Structure 1
Amino acid sequence: MMKSILCGSEQHQPQPELVAQISERTYRSDVMVDIVVNLSLVNLEGRNDFAQVFLALLKREAKGRLPTIEYLITTENIIVSLVEGYESPDIALFCGKLLRECIQYEPLANIIFEDNQFFKFFEYVEMSNSEIASDAFATFKDLLTRHRTVCSEFLSDNFDRVFQAYNRLLESENCLLRCQSLKLLAELFGQQAYITVMMSYVGKPENLQLIMNNLRAENLSLQFEAFNVFKFFVGNPNKTKPVLDIFLKNQENLVDFLSTFQNDRSDDEQFHYEKIFLIEQIKELSG
């Protein structure tokens, strides 16, 4: 009944006044909290019905407001419960789907940052269940890229803790996860909103050493994604002394290495010109 009122049907469109009444009752009763907290007890059909109702409520507008967003902000345990749903294999993918819909809205994404729920994703993306881990990485990526201002501030304020955890992903035995993590890092660093974060990262010698290790990996895809992060270290005009010292110590070896690096990628002109540029930049370095 509730689903048909909020979502409508082939025969009937939702009636705004009735939708408003049902929505307000839903908020006051906290039934959404009860369902989300107990999702593992709900059967598949019930979950699918709840998802339709939840998404209809999420997108509901009333006089320029988003009432459900306002409700979820004041009822943070719904977002927290969806995040923690990744810890229950039977509902993990369902929670991930709803969570990605929620974090399209900046205030809801901000709950995950402010409540320190974000750090749980470093564990979720390494779960042994590859399907759940992949889904968690999709949510992790959305969190890092969708709301740039909020995210860049969070990364700057929590830089050491975030990148200590992030660097562990770049050392993972899971080659696919390492590739995904390097690619995401390069994507972030290539955006103006993250320039402060990027400059902090490329200023640390241990980060350069980690990326150089990935450059030498056996897997070609891993090498390529590492290259796309490495170029930010080389291109930084204000290298810290410890980083510059590493470049100078390895200057000749780096030039020789890059000269033959993935030469069979002949159809990628951008890569070709970037590699030439990096080689010239490294040659010109001096103490």
Structure 2
Amino acid sequence: MAFLFGRSKARSNQELTRSTKDLILKLIAEDKPSQKVSDHYDPSELDWADDGQIEEEVARNLGQMKVILQGTPELDVSPDQVFQLVNLLVTEDLLRVLAENIHRLPFESRKDTQTIISNVLRYKQPGEDQPIALQYIITTRPEVIIALCNGYDRRESAMPCGGILKEALKHDAVTALILYDEPSLHGQPLDLGSIDTDQPASGQGVFWKFFDWIDKSLFEVSTDAFDTFRVGRSHILR
């Protein structure tokens, strides 16, 4: 697909999500040109452009998504548009792509990504008890939560990922995903219903990384990781 960099025309939700995913995959491919960037994309199949152009286009897309989800003082949100965008972010697997690659984005785009994912994780349809995106993550894509935790590996992604996690940890199931995470030999997502709480932890799950992030990271990363750890701990002990 060819992208028209710099165009200002508002895109549909479907165009926004697919374009953003493809552009981020380009950024990954340019970092690792000899490797596949996903199961369905190969760098040789992607159009190439200057990193700055890609980042500008991603920034425009993310800015438009943020406005759709939370509106502006001059523009009210459209419930239909919000519902459609939330579902596309889920079905296009863009939540995972954003969580895993937020460190590749410019500063303002990282802030917009934090706002987008936080809004998506809060969004509930009328009459529903649980946000639809959160339910999807818990049952199908726990990698999103693990990727957000691993955001503490990098200074660039620590704060936005931490902000999202503090919001997500209001839900007990997210706390459980982090607490019981273990490396999987077959890449299978964690099934909370099949956890054996009598089985000793290996110490290799993402929960145990928090101790290193708190103890060995830069001050601002360490402080934020500790705050996130404390939020999760409060849910365990309540």
TM-score (norm 2): 0.59
- The separation in 1 between residues aligned to 2:171 and 2:236, in whole angstroms, is 9
Partner of residue 178 from structure 2, selected from 112, 116, 120: 112
Q: 8 Å contact 1:100–1:142 — kept in the other structure?
A: yes
Aligned residue runs from structure 1 range 1-287, under 5 A: 1-62=64-125, 63-64=127-128, 65-73=130-138, 74-115=140-181, 116-148=205-237
Matched residue type, 2:117: F
Give the CA deviation at 1:57: 0.9
Give the CA deviation at 1:128: 4.3
1:251 corresponds in structure 2 to none
Divergent runs of 4+, >2 A: 146-149
- The separation in 2 between residues aligned to 1:86 and 1:99, in whole angstroms, is 11
Matched residue type, 1:120: K
- The separation in 2 between residues aligned to 1:110 and 1:117, in whole angstroms, is 11
Q: 8 Å contact 2:145–2:174 — kept in the other structure?
A: yes
- The separation in 1 between residues aligned to 2:146 and 2:135, in whole angstroms, is 16
Distance 1:140 1:44, change over 3 A: same
Matched residue type, 1:34: V
CA-atom RMSD, angstroms? 1.5
Matched residue type, 1:84: N
Distance 1:128 1:47, change over 3 A: closer
Q: How many residues get paired? A: 149
Give the CA deviation at 1:145: 1.1
Q: 8 Å contact 2:68–2:78 — kept in the other structure?
A: yes
- The separation in 2 between residues aligned to 1:45 and 1:59, in whole angstroms, is 21
**SS of residue matched to 2:156:** coil
Give the CA deviation at 1:146: 2.2
Matched residue type, 1:100: K
Give the CA deviation at 1:79: 0.7
TM-score (norm 1): 0.49
Q: 8 Å contact 1:6–1:53 — kept in the other structure?
A: yes
**SS of residue matched to 1:146:** helix
Q: Deviations over 1:137-185 (max 9, x none)?
A: 1111111112436xxxxxxxxxxxxxxxxxxxxxxxxxxxxxxxxxxxx
The structure with higher relative contact order (CA 8 Å, sep 6+) is 2
Percentage identity across paired residues of the two chains = 26
Q: 8 Å contact 2:175–2:235 — kept in the other structure?
A: no
User: Whose radius of gyration is greater, 1 or 2?
Assistant: 1
- The separation in 2 between residues aligned to 1:84 and 1:75, in whole angstroms, is 15
Moved more, 123-132 or 27-36: 123-132
Q: 8 Å contact 1:72–1:108 — kept in the other structure?
A: no
Give the CA deviation at 1:94: 2.1
